[in-house]
Amino acid sequence: MLVNGETEVYGIIGYPVKHSKSPQFQTAAFRHKNINAVYLPFEVKPENLKKAVNGIKALSIRGINITVPHKEEVIRYLDETSEEVQFIGACNTVKNIDGYLIGYNTDAYGFIEGLKEIEPQFQDKTFLILGAGGASRAVLYGLIREGAEKIFVANRTIDRVFQIIQDFSKLNRFIQEIIIPVPLDKVEDYLSSTDIIVNTTSVGLKDEDPPLFDYSKVQKKHTVVDIIYKKTKLLKVAEEKGCRWQDGLPMLLYQGAKAFEIWTGEKAPVEVMRKVLQE
Ligand code: ATR
């Protein structure tokens, strides 16, 4: 389908945004579904975020993904936000309904759908989540919504874990029994009682990053998920030890699929999108 006067515009706002894989796989989804739309990258500096959001309205851009570093800041410029956005404190998907902007967070859904591919029955498992930033909050929101009952949360700044417990108390009244704060330097003591390890920090993005804990302590019984889109040092160790493991691509895929469904009301062609991501 060629671009014409009726083509609808979608896109992603980030800074930087050049590395984003969303334009490829969202465009593939629109093509597959014969929807007359384009999906473009928009590099927006932090000081221009407000103008960019007003631009969504002015230009009737139908839907926008929001990525680093705007996921938190964008919330103040939206007309309405979903429950997930309110708990997580970050928004990655905006739908424009005739100039009225609604913010969603599809990262929690993305994480859970990805996790189900390697751990279909995770509710009774014990989790160890590394990190307590925006990505961690999305993972935790998803897990708690799905009924996970025991989650160690380790972070360099432990106060951020206590803040999450406080913020999520309205989500689940047993939150203090579900989320157990763990200082980062004590992680190794919790590994024997952990089933599923999830790294939500940015540590591992660069090969020279020092590890969050002694990865040689990872055991074959662990399932290891790293939400970074590559085989990090942690994942390499997991693979060597014979663990089940997963990188960040499934989460990326399913958060995008959910955004597509929010915008179009149609079922996302997940396998088409996955193929593009794997290329
Ligand atoms: P995101 O939205 O990607 O989660 P964020 O909110 O900035 O980003 O959170 C980054 C997470 O990575 C935090 O848990 C952070 O730990 P602190 O809360 O102590 O800052 C963690 N992180 C980043 N760099 C780290 C490092 N070098 N060592 C340990 N943790 C690190």
Render pLDDT for 217-268 as a digit per residue (tens, 0 to 9): 999 999 999 999 999 999 999 999 999 999 999 999 999 999 999 999 999 9
Q: Identify the residue whose C-alpha is closest to ligand 1 atom 3.
A: 135
134 touches ligand 1 (CB under 6 Å): yes
User: What is the CB neighbour count within 10 angstroms for residue 27?
Assistant: 17
Q: Given a cut of 80, is residue 35 above it in pLDDT?
A: yes
* 131 CA to centre of ligand 1 in angstroms: 6
Give the C-alpha separation, 212 to 207, whole Å. Answer: 13
Q: Is 131 annotated as a binding residue?
A: yes
Residue 132: its pLDDT value, please? 98
Share of the chain above pLDDT 70, in %: 100
Q: Are strands 126-130 and 150-155 parallel, antiparallel or unpaired?
A: parallel
All structural domains of the chain: 8-105 (3.40.50.10860), 108-248 (3.40.50.720)
Ligand 1: atom nearest CA of 184 is 29
Dmax over CA atoms of the chain, in Å, equals 61
Report the SS3 class of residue 63. Answer: strand
Task: Please report how many Cα atoms fall inside a 13 Å half-sphere around the Cα of residue 73, on the Cβ side.
Answer: 18
Out of 33, 45, 71, 236, the active site residue is: 71
156 touches ligand 1 (CB under 6 Å): yes
Asked if the bond preceding 211 is cis, omega within 30° of 0, the reply is no
Q: Of 186, 182, 71, which Cα lies nearest the Cα of 137?
A: 71
Ligand 1: atom nearest CA of 90 is 2
Q: What's the rounded mean pLDDT across residues 197-225? A: 97
Task: Please report how many Cα atoms fall inside a 13 Å half-sphere around the Cα of residue 142, on the Cβ side.
Answer: 25
Q: What's the rounded mean pLDDT across residues 30-57? A: 98
Give the C-alpha separation, 151 to 115, whole Å. Answer: 15
Q: Given a cut of 70, is residue 1 above it in pLDDT?
A: no
131 touches ligand 1 (CB under 6 Å): yes
Q: What's the rounded mean pLDDT across residues 36-58? A: 98
Report the SS3 class of residue 210. Answer: coil
pLDDT range class, residue 3, cuts 50, 70, 90 = very high
Residue 24: its pLDDT value, please? 98
Residue 2: its pLDDT value, please? 81
Share of the chain above pLDDT 90, in %: 99
Q: What's the rounded mean pLDDT across residues 70-83? A: 98
269 touches ligand 1 (CB under 6 Å): no
Residue 71 among the catalytic residues = yes
Asked if the bond preceding 69 is cis, omega within 30° of 0, the reply is yes
CB 153 within 8 A of CB 186: no
Q: Of 72, 41, 67, which Cα lies nearest the Cα of 229?
A: 67
